Amino acid sequence: MATTETRMPAVQECTVSGCSYNQDDGCHTFAITVYGANGVADCGTFVPLSRKGGLPKVLAQVGACSRADCIHNSDLECTASGVRIAPGEGDHAANCLTYSPR
């Protein structure tokens, strides 16, 4: 019996330098969660600490997305080829720039 492997989209870029998982514009957590309301898609994995964390060698991916109104969302999974994360409004926000409403 063949198994089907599902690949989630990679976080291709993260320019949120204030996030503990950001190292050299790359996300170093295993997976992020995208959520939000009112026309924005926030990175729910954003951690604004002065201490850096995460895994030394990892290509972060989108683990879950609750923005069901995004054209890339299928059954709460992201179908984009990759996502970009950038600073949002305020000091404690990061947004998914790949989000596009239906």
Which residue did the predictor score with more confidence, 6 or 98?
98
Confidence of residue 3 (pLDDT cuts 50, 70, 90): low
Region 36-53: mean pLDDT is 90
Interval 30-55 mean pLDDT: 91
Q: Quick: pLDDT tens for 79-95.
A: 999 999 999 887 778 99
Q: Indicate the pLDDT class of residue 59, thresholds 50, 70 and 90.
A: confident
pLDDT at 7: 81
CB-count exposure of residue 58 (10 Å: 0-12, 13-18, 19+): middle
